[in-house]
Amino acid sequence: MGKWEGFFSKETSSLKSSEIRDLLKLTEGKSVISFAGGLPDPSTFPVEDIKKIADEILETKSASALQYTATAGISELRKQLVSFTGLRGVTGINENNVFVSVGSQEALFMLFNVLVDPGDNIVVEKPTYLTALNVLRTRKPQFHGVPVTERGPDLQILESELKKLHSEGKKVKLMYVIPTAQNPAGTTMYLDDRKYLMELASSYDFLVVEDDAYGFLVFDGDNPPPLKALDKEGRVIYLGTFSKILSPGLRLGWIVADEEIIREVELFKQNVDLHTPSFNQFIAAEAIRRGVIQSNLPKTKSLYKEKRDYMINAMDKFFPSSVKRTKPVGGMFIFTWLPEKFNTVQLLQEAMNRGVAYVPGSSFFYDYSGTNTMRINFSFPNKAEIERGIEILGNLIRSKL
């Protein structure tokens, strides 16, 4: 027991470190090929444009850009986000429906704190985004899992779970869902399924937190509108992020929601950090206004598609046929299923000794199932690393068969 351990909150000291973050630490400065994080390829950063924009902001608006600002975000950015989210088909909103956060991580943190109490019935996909799960776990809800199929969450299972809970006099409060280029599964919900999910949400009266982190990064097939575009009742809370389409280092995300929910998040954020950095917000507002992000997207998508295909080829070459994998339609990850006997948490140390890191898939299941799965990132490593890393992983798996 550490010297100060007795002083730590009993409520929060049970927090476990995110495996991704710990991995990032372990691989720092080492020659490990990392398939672990969700880092963009830095060649996609529009550096020259950001430089020009930063210069002009400091020349013309420094008194605002370096000063405190409103908790919900600067008006310039909230307005730009109304039209930018419109590119995804979300209409009928105004700047009061938009809230700027420190990455979409902070949006998840605030929303789950504002909305979820211990014991609340919460629906999540199996698997789903690890750090959203980590925040949800701190709220001690009752989790209900819906398996992800090739067309997104299995709505038949969801509906029968909703029915069952209803017959027990219980009510689901919210569902956290990533309908487009799901993290980690890489699947996208069909339009009909999206409509049906909204009907279920309406019938059973629950909120939907829609994480659209990869909505602008779909490079295969259809890209149907987000749930928020189908939302007639204001029950969808939409989350966007600049991390995958401009720069994660600026730490900017946004929420689109009913004003009443925005106001509650605003009260919470006053305590968390007063507001999101003003300078960064001005940069993002200008990057949208000048079309920098919009014109940068095709290049990013084609690069990621190329890297995905390259990784899939490497997997087909080096992985034994008993390993199953997704073919993601967008985003940054391939999800794989090893034979049942594998435990990818235990396998990780050996993989790292051989020079490769990934994220064990069980981190993405609320019940820590999926012990034979792994999430593999293709956006950050270069082609040589993809080829070499997949070969190492393949050899390691073969040696254990």
Specify the residue, 10 or 341, whose C-beta has the smaller distance to its own copies. Answer: 10
Residue from 84, 99, 109, 318 touching its own copies (CB under 8 A): that is: 109
Residue 39 CB-density burial (10 A; 0-12 exposed, 13-18 middle, 19+ buried): middle
Q: Considering only residues 136 through 165, tell me which ones interact with its own copies, judged by CB under 8 A.
A: 138
Query: If binding is defined by CB under 8 A, does position 9 make contact with its own copies?
Result: yes
Cα-Cα-Cα-Cα dihedral of 334, 340, 345, 351, to 10°? -70
Closest distance between its own copies and the C-beta of residue 263, in Å?
A: 9
* Closest to its own copies by CB, 123 or 148: 123
Strand-pairing partners, residue 330, are 218
Shortest Cβ distance from residue 121 to its own copies (Å)? Answer: 12
Q: How far is CA 388 from CA 20, 30, 33, 381, in A?
A: 21, 16, 8, 10
Q: At what angle do helices 47-60 and 292-318 cross, to 10 degrees?
A: 150
Position 284 contacts its own copies (CB under 8 A): no
Round to whole Å and give the CA distance between 352 and 298. 34
Sort 289 into a burial class: Cβ within 10 Å, 0-12 / 13-18 / 19+.
Answer: middle
- 70 touches its own copies by CB under 8 A: yes
- Write the DSSP symbol of residue 371: T
Q: Enumerate residues 223-282 that contact its own copies by CB under 8 A.
A: 234-235, 243, 247-251, 258, 260-261, 264, 266-268, 270-280
Q: Does 121 bind its own copies (CB under 8 A)?
A: no
User: Applying CB under 8 A, which part among 54-62, 157-165, 193-201, 348-356 lies near its own copies?
Assistant: 54-62
Contact residue for its own copies among 73, 103, 370, 389 (CB under 8 A): 103
User: In the complex, what is the shortest distance from the CB of residue 55 to its own copies, in angstroms, rounded to a whole number?
Assistant: 6
Task: Candidates 102, 213, 218, 229: give the one binding its own copies (CB under 8 A).
Answer: 102
Of the residues 26, 64, 157, 303, which one makes contact with its own copies according to CB under 8 A: 64
Does position 55 interact with its own copies (CB under 8 A)? The reply is yes
Least Å distance, CB 181 to its own copies, is: 19
Q: Does residue number 17 form part of the binding site for its own copies (CB under 8 A)? A: yes
Tokens of 111: 């929303």
Counting contacts by CB under 8 A, is residue 106 touching its own copies?
A: yes
* CA–CA dist 113, 15 (Å, integer): 15
For the chain, state the CA radius of gyration. 21
Q: Segment contacting its own copies (CB under 8 A): 49-57, 215-223, 287-295, 337-345?
A: 49-57
Give yes or no for residue 7 binding its own copies (CB under 8 A): yes
User: What is the nearest approach in angstroms of its own copies to the Cβ of residue 365?
Assistant: 18
* Tokens found for residue 340: 């049942």
Residue from 32, 35, 36, 71 in contact with its own copies (CB under 8 A): 71
Question: Closest approach of Cβ 117 to its own copies, in Å?
Answer: 5
On whether the CB atoms of residues 278 and 65 are closer than 8 A, the answer is yes
Nearer to its own copies, 255 or 347 (CB): 255
Helix, coil or strand: residue 181: coil
In whole angstroms, what is the distance from residue 228 CA to residue 210 CA? 8
Q: Which of 27, 80, 105, 183 binds its own copies (CB under 8 A)?
A: 105
Residue 350 binds to its own copies (criterion: CB under 8 A): no
The amino acid at 65: A
**One of 36, 135, 217, 352 touching its own copies (CB under 8 A):** 135
Among 81, 116, 312, 397, binds its own copies (CB under 8 A): 116
Measured distance CA(9)–CA(140) in Å, rounded: 16
Token match 């509906």: residue? 159
Judged by CB under 8 A, the chain residues 167 through 226 that form the site for its own copies are 173-174, 207
Give 67-123 as a DSSP string: S---TT--HHHHHHHHHHHHTTT--S--GGGEEEESHHHHHHHHHHHHH--TT-EEE
Min separation Cβ 320 and its own copies, Å: 32
- For residues 33 and 358, is the Cβ–Cβ distance under 8 A? no
CA pair distance 192, 169, nearest whole angstrom: 29
Task: Check residue 2 for interaction with its own copies (CB under 8 A).
Answer: yes
